[in-house]
Amino acid sequence: MLKGKVAIVTGSTSGIGLGIARQLAKLGADLVLNGFGEEGSIEAVRSGIEREHGVRAAYDGADMSQGEAVRGLIAGAIEKFGRLDILVNNAGIQFTAPVEEFPIPRWDAILKINLSAAFHGIAAAVPQMRKQHWGRIINIASAHGLVASTHKAAYVAAKHGLVGLTKVVGLETAGSGVTCNAVCPGWVRTPLVERQIADLAVEKRVSQEEAAKELLAEKQPSLEFVALEQLGGTVAFLCSDAADQITGTAISVDGGWTAQ
């Protein structure tokens, strides 16, 4: 379905981003991976994707907290592959604290990586996509892009901003062959969430499995974690012809979290 297309997925050396990248490669897209990690591990992921799916996969370690680096990521992909069809803005970080105690450097870092990076990437990618008369911009927001939780001021603000940015870009590119949408996951069992489960288990003095169930019960009515394959499949759908007229919207993949 995506053979001949080129996709950038930010924050794709692990977790949600890597799951999405693998799904796009499975459908034939060439990839630019991005993210932090140990050099050998990243190379193993990159070369493994090439071998398994018969696509070209490159890696760019651009720092998503730096706007010029983000724009350089886009320019580098276009220079290397001659085109850019899909941009998945997935990179993100988290920190929790009451608003009056929230460290200013943490606030600044979360806004830069979770929101501003998407702005810079979109601004750099849209001209190329318009020229091709086809493009898919997919912002990985969160259930926290639609509702709030305590102690997550920066994350919730950034993700709400990302949903708003999605709507603006959807309007500005309407009719051009370019679409822009947000995907809003609930709890996904990523390394970040595993740490939250471990902390909760220690705090409550329960097993990790009991802590996981408690975490789900608080927010996610399905009582099931969202699978990486489900998120990858949602992104793939938004890249399909069936989604040509879906733009400027936010799709919840959250087991009913935001339906409450």
Q: For residue range 197-243, list pLDDT tens digits in order.
A: 999 999 999 999 999 999 999 999 999 999 999 999 999 999 999 99
Mean pLDDT over the full length of the chain: 97
pLDDT at position 69 over 90:
yes
- Strand 30-33, strand 6-9: pairing: parallel
Supply the pTM of this predicted model: 0.96
150-164 in b/e form (b: 16+ CB < 10 A) is eebbbbbbbbbbbbe
CA distance 238 to 222: 23
Kindly give, in sequence order, each residue whose CB lies less than 8 Å from that of residue 165, ignoring residues fewer than 6 positions away: 115, 118, 119, 122, 139
Query: With 90 as the cut, is the pLDDT of residue 190 above it?
Result: no
Q: Which of 59, 81, 107, 155 is catalytic?
A: 155
- pLDDT bin (cut points 50, 70, 90) of residue 260 is confident
Handedness of CA 241, 246, 250, 254 (dihedral sign): negative
pLDDT higher than threshold 90 for residue 191: no
Q: At what angle do helices 15-26 and 228-238 cross, to 10 degrees?
A: 50
pLDDT of 122? 98
| Predicted local distance difference test score (pLDDT) of residue 183 | 98
Predicted pLDDT of residue 196: 86
How far is residue 28 CA from its own chain's centroid? 19
Based on the residue annotation, tell me whether 59 is a catalytic residue of this protein: no
Q: Positive or negative, the Cα torsion across 217, 153, 138, 92?
A: negative
- Can you tell me the distance from the alpha carbon of 167 to that of 248, in angstroms, rounded to the nearest whole number? 4
